[in-house]
A and B are shown apart, each in its own frame.
Chain A
Amino acid sequence: MGEAVRIEGVTKVFGKQKALDNVTFSIPEHSVFGLLGPNGAGKTTLFSLIANFLKVNAGTIKVLGTDVDSIGDLQGKLSILPQDALFQANVPVREQLEFFCALSGMKREAATAETRRVLEMVGLLEVEKKNARSLSHGMTKRLGIAQAFLGKPEVVILDEPTAGLDPVNAAAVRTLVRDIKSKAKATLIISSHNLAEIQELCGMVAIIDKGVLKECRSVAELTETSGIVRFTFGKHLSEAEQSLLESLPGVAGVTVDTQDEYSVEIKPAEGQSVQELIAALVGALAAKGLVPRSVKEGASLEEKFLEVTKAKA
């Protein structure tokens, strides 16, 4: 598999502050790649550098083998949903997208058809004649996603596509990304503070903290922690129920991850496989009326993220 993006020794300084410090990693072609980091870690800066909005102080960035300084050569191949970028408030939605299409070399009819396609994809066809200022936050976000998928981009960057959206809209965006992931051959690069979302959508992630790259691996590798199984119950367990879980054979410890999610450290008996132990645990819990909604092997991405960024309380 080739490289969609190659970031080599990239440093970006704002005044006296180093936003990125000698960051090096690559993103494989046709992958869904997550970029994680706490607020101010440098994610948006890195995206802005990839899209050539900002200029690097040191290092190089290549997209599909082309230096981003020659951004014109990437026309139509690289697209982005920039964070907090406003559309022209007083220009109709359709006109703005058709203008972008025209810049990509499409004729009028093709631009109109393509605009309708992406607006339909994000469910905004009914507001195509409205000015961008009349759209809600969620609609504007979806419009941003629509413009990112105009044409046939090979690399698509989505900077916090679900930030600030209500659960319904956020789920709609996730579904959209999943659809695109299954249909298009594009490389998707996504940043989000919703780690469950990243874990669900992405095959690989990079974690940046204070401008420094901390991890860049597949999600499976990153969360693979032998002996950890995550149970989701759909409710918070009472003390008695948690004690019951801890007392089951093969359970070495229980950690509460979220309201209804528990990381269980397991120790299979000799000759017993992890799968057999998990099956035994689920059976024992079910017998006591505690049926888990889901059971996943490995640590959560959130746990790993907190460990890597040392933000764990």
Chain B
Amino acid sequence: MLRPPHLKLIARHSVRHGLRGGAGLIAVLATLLIGLLLTSIVISPLDAVEQQLNRHSELDAQEVAAYREQAGREVIKIAKGTTEWAMGVSDEQIDYLLGDKPAMISALLILLMLVVPLCACLGAFNQTSGDIGSKGLRYLLIRTERQNIFIGRFIGTAIFTAFVFLVLFLILALYIGLKVHVHPTGDMLLWLAGGYVRIVLFSLPYVALCAWVSGSIDSPFGALVLAMLFAYLWPLFVFIGTRQNEGFHYLQYATPWGYKWWLFSESPGMVAGGVAVMLAFTAALVVLGNYRFAKRDL
């Protein structure tokens, strides 16, 4: 029987101690490192120009503006290349992301989307497996139903993952707000906020996947490897298969990876569909994981 007070307690305990285990800290640091690394790729031309401008203080305001405009164009060129390479979607969607929305932020979000499964798995792989291995879970098993432990920890981990991405996005918002003037600041921050919500939504099925794998085996490392293989091996298989046969393309829809760009569509209906698919995958993986967790020896 699901007990909301137990879910709340277990989720809160899981969030509170997310960082203390070491793995949580690694997840935070890895996510920040990867996120900032990708950001630096996108905005490095701007930094380079700013450094040059600092060295040439004799330039007048008009020349400085010209340099900055050129750097902006360079950034948008990188954003366009990145978006087209990563997404492979319709021209309308590309135009929407690069024309209607701040192109630099779009490029950054799209690059971040590619590493969301990695970051989510790093933060979520040890939801239960470590405690199963150490038998520490037994102190809880006697006090509540298994589904409360499983779902409570999933909720806690999902909140923890959302928090980790929030830290990253706050750093990005601060940096972009202060240093980047390629697009209007308000537009950039608004799109960044929208991107944050989309990234958290895309991370949910992977947190649920980790919950399932972690609840099924006793080794945290094994759970991480299995979850990562599932997250990236299938898209790689589809990618390679599609080069041989176009029909393979449809196999991408077997995992959340195949629907990720729906979240960045110009069509609100498509975005809603993407949200629904992410939530459906999450629910399905939680149900499967919970079933396995409820039946196994712990």
Contact = CB atoms under 8 A, between A and B. Distances in A.
Interface of A: 48, 51-55, 71-72, 75, 78-80, 82, 84-88, 90-91, 96, 99-100, 102-105, 147
A91 B20 contact: yes
B6 interface: yes
A48 B135 CA distance: 11
A52 B20 CA distance: 29
Nearest to B6: A103
* CB-based closest 9 A-B pairs: A85-B135, A86-B134, A82-B138, A103-B143, A90-B20, A54-B297, A72-B145, A85-B138, A86-B136
A267 B297 CA distance: 54
Interface residues of B, number: 25
Interface string B137-177: 01111111100000000000000000000000000000000
Nearest to A97: B139
Given A88-B136, A104-B143, A99 B298 contact: no
Nearest to A100: B143
- The secondary structure that dominates the B interface is loop
Contacts of A90: 17, 20-21
A82 B135 contact: yes
Interface in B259-298: 295-298
Interface of B: 1, 3, 5-6, 9-10, 13, 17, 20-21, 134-136, 138-145, 295-298
Contacts of B10: 103
A53 B13 contact: no
B136 A87 contact: yes
Nearest to A45: B297
A53 B141 contact: yes
A54 B138 CA distance: 10
The residue in B9, B10, B21, B142 that gathers the most chain A C-beta atoms within 10 A of its C-beta is: B142
Nearest to A49: B297
Contact of A82 (B1, B20, B139, B297): B139
B141 A71 contact: yes
Contacts of A88: 17, 136
Contacts of B141: 51-53, 71
A147 B135 contact: no
A93 to B, nearest CB: 12
A156 to B, nearest CB: 11
Contacts of A52: 141-142
A297 B142 CA distance: 41
A91 B298 CA distance: 22
Nearest to A84: B135
A169 B142 CA distance: 26
Nearest to B3: A72
7 contacts: A52-B142, A71-B142, A86-B134, A86-B136, A87-B136, A90-B20, A103-B143
A177 B142 CA distance: 20
A90 B10 CA distance: 16
Contacts of A147: 139
B142 A55 contact: no
A51 B142 CA distance: 6
A161 to B, nearest CB: 15
A103 B140 CA distance: 9
Nearest to B134: A86
Most-contacted residue by chain B among A54, A90, A99, A103 (CB, 10 A): A103
A51 B297 CA distance: 11
A53 B138 contact: yes
Interface centre among B3, B138, B297 (most CB of A within 10 A): B138
Contacts of A103: 6, 9-10, 140, 143-144
Given A54-B297, A71-B145, A91-B20, A80 B138 contact: yes
A85 B134 contact: yes
Given A51-B138, A51-B141, A99-B13, 11 more contacts: A48-B297, A51-B142, A53-B298, A71-B145, A72-B144, A80-B138, A86-B135, A87-B136, A99-B9, A103-B140, A103-B143
A48 B132 CA distance: 13
Given A54-B297, A99-B9, A103-B9, A85 B139 contact: yes
Contacts of B138: 51, 53, 80, 82, 85
Contact of B296 (A55, A71, A82, A105): A55
A99 B143 CA distance: 10
A53 B298 CA distance: 5
A103 B10 CA distance: 9
Nearest to A73: B1
A189 to B, nearest CB: 13
A84 B9 CA distance: 25
A102 B139 CA distance: 13
Contact of B144 (A53, A75, A80, A84): A75
B4 to A, nearest CB: 13
A99 B5 CA distance: 12
B193 to A, nearest CB: 34
B20 A102 contact: no
Given A71-B145, A100-B143, A103-B140, A55 B20 contact: no
A86 B138 CA distance: 9
B242 to A, nearest CB: 42
Contacts of B297: 48, 53-55
